[in-house]
Amino acid sequence: QVQLVESGGGVVQPGRSLRLSCAASGFTFSSYGMHWVRQAPGKGLEWVAVIWYDGSNKYYADSVKGRFTISRDISKNTLYLQMNGLRAEDTAVYYCARAWKEYCSGGSCSGGMDVWGQGTTVTVSS
């Protein structure tokens, strides 16, 4: 079945780095744009980043721009989020999610995310 499984979360000190992974299965990973979305404890959803189906474009929330990098490895059907310079405010559950539209570009990558992982928890604390 169509599935996304995140991993790589944990407890990390401020300023350190962490890389999250999202393993995709049950669909043609290379045909879909992918997002990272996070949710701080007791708070709402916050979009983090998107990568188009072909990896040609990547966009980031202002809160993570310059610190986080989204990427994908088609050969491994895996999405990544490299997080550098972590701050306490980055503490959250991180979800990967699939854009509903195949071969999306521009706004069509953001019309809806139809498959979500279960989330991985990142805690930034000294």
Partner 1 sequence: QSALTQPASVSGSPGQSITISCTGTSSDVGGYHFVSWYQQHPGKAPKLMIYDVSNRPSGVSNRFSGSKSGNTASLTISGLQAEDEADYYCSSYTSSSTLGFGGGTKLTVL
- Residue range at the interface with partner 1 (CB under 8 A); choices 12-20, 56-64, 68-76, 79-87: 56-64
Candidate list 23, 82, 91, 116; residue touching partner 1; CB under 8 A: 116
Among 5, 21, 54, 63, binds partner 1 (CB under 8 A): 63
Decide if 5 contacts 17 (C-beta within 8 A).
Answer: no
35 token code pair = 């997002």
| Per-position b or e across 72-99, b if 16+ CB within 10 A of its CB | beeeebbbbbebeebeeebbbbbbbbbb
> In 10 A of CB 30, how many CB atoms?
14
Cβ 55 to partner 1 shortest distance, Å: 15
Per rule CB under 8 A, count of chain residues that contact partner 1: 28
What is the 8-class DSSP label of residue 40?
-
Q: Which of 2, 45, 74, 88 binds partner 1 (CB under 8 A)?
A: 45
Let me know: does 2 contact 115? Beta carbons within 8 Å. Answer: yes
62 in contact with partner 1 (CB under 8 A): yes
Nearer to partner 1, 14 or 106 (CB): 106
Per CB under 8 A, does 91 bind partner 1? no
Selected range binding partner 1 among 7-15, 24-32, 78-86, 116-124, rule: CB under 8 A: 116-124
Nearest to 38 by CA among 105, 86, 78, 74: 86
Quick check: 92 binds partner 1 (CB under 8 A)? no
